[in-house]
Amino acid sequence: MFEDNAPIIKAGCGWLAPPYIFTSAVKRELTNLAQSQNLASMVDYGSPYGSLSLRRAIKRLLARRDIPCSEDGIILTHGASQALELTLRAFAQPGDTVLVDDPGYCNLYPLLQSLGLTAIGVGRTATGPCPSLFERAIKKHQPRLFVTTSVLHNPTGGCASAENVAAIHALAVKHGITMVEDNIFLDLTPESQPCHARYDKLQNIIHIDSFSKTIGPGLRVGYLACPPEIGKRILRYKMAAGLTTAGLNETLVHGIIQSGQYGLHLTDLRERLFQTQKIVYRSLQDAGMKVYLRPMGGLFIWARFEKNVHAQSVSERAATKDIMLAPGHLFRPERSDSQWFRFNVTHTNEPRLYDFLKQENNI
Residues 251 and 322 placed together within one structural domain of the fold: no
The pLDDT tens digits of the residues spanning 329-357 come to 999 998 889 999 999 999 998 999 999 99
Query: Of 200, 226, 258, which residue constitutes the final position of a domain?
Result: 258
Instruction: Based on the fold, state whether residues 96 and 180 are members of the same structural domain.
Output: yes
Q: Do 177 and 269 sit in the same domain of this protein?
A: no
Question: How far is 219 from 227, CA to CA, in rounded Å?
Answer: 26
CATH number at residue 308: 3.90.1150.10
Tell me: do 210 and 311 sit in the same domain. Answer: no
Q: Which residues pair with 123 in a beta bridge?
A: 102
Q: Based on the domain organization, do 166 and 78 belong to the same domain?
A: yes
Cβ pair 222, 76 in contact under 8 A: yes
Cα–Cα distance for residue pair 170/227, rounded to 1 Å: 19
CA angle 116, 117, 121 (to 5 degrees): 150
The residue from 232, 258, 284 where one domain ends is 258
Give the structural domain span for 60. 37-258
State pLDDT tens for residues 64-95: 999 999 999 999 999 999 999 999 999 999 99
- Which one-letter amino acid corresponds to residue 126? A
Got the DSSP string for 328-355? GGGGSTT----SEEEEEHHHH--HHHHH
| φ, ψ dihedrals at 145, nearest 5° | -140, 160
85 and 204 inside one domain? yes
Is 6 contained in some domain? no
Provide the angle, in degrees to the nearest 10, between the axes of the packed helices 311-319 and 351-361: 140
Residue 239: its pLDDT value, please?
86
Tabulate helix, strand, coil % of the chain (nearest 5). Answer: 45, 15, 35
Do the domain assignments include residue 25? no
3 CB contacts (<8 Å, ≥6 apart)? none
Residue 351 lies in a domain: yes
Distance CA 186, CA 16 (A): 15
Tell whether 331 is covered by a domain: yes
Q: Is the dihedral of CA 120, 124, 128, 131 positive or negative?
A: negative
In this structure, the answer to whether residues 142 and 56 fall within a common structural domain is yes
Contact indicator for 155, 148 with CB cutoff of 8 Å: no
Express each pLDDT in 149-205 by its tens digit: 999 999 999 999 999 999 999 999 999 999 999 999 999 999 999 999 999 999 889
DSSP 8-state code for residue 177: P
Quote the number of domains for the chain. 2
184 and 325 inside one domain: no
Answer yes or no: is 284 within a domain. yes
Which of these three, 258, 288, 323, is where a domain ends? 258
| 79, 210 contact by CB (below 8 A) | yes
pLDDT tens sequence across 272-329: 999 999 999 999 999 999 999 999 899 999 999 999 999 999 999 999 999 999 999 9
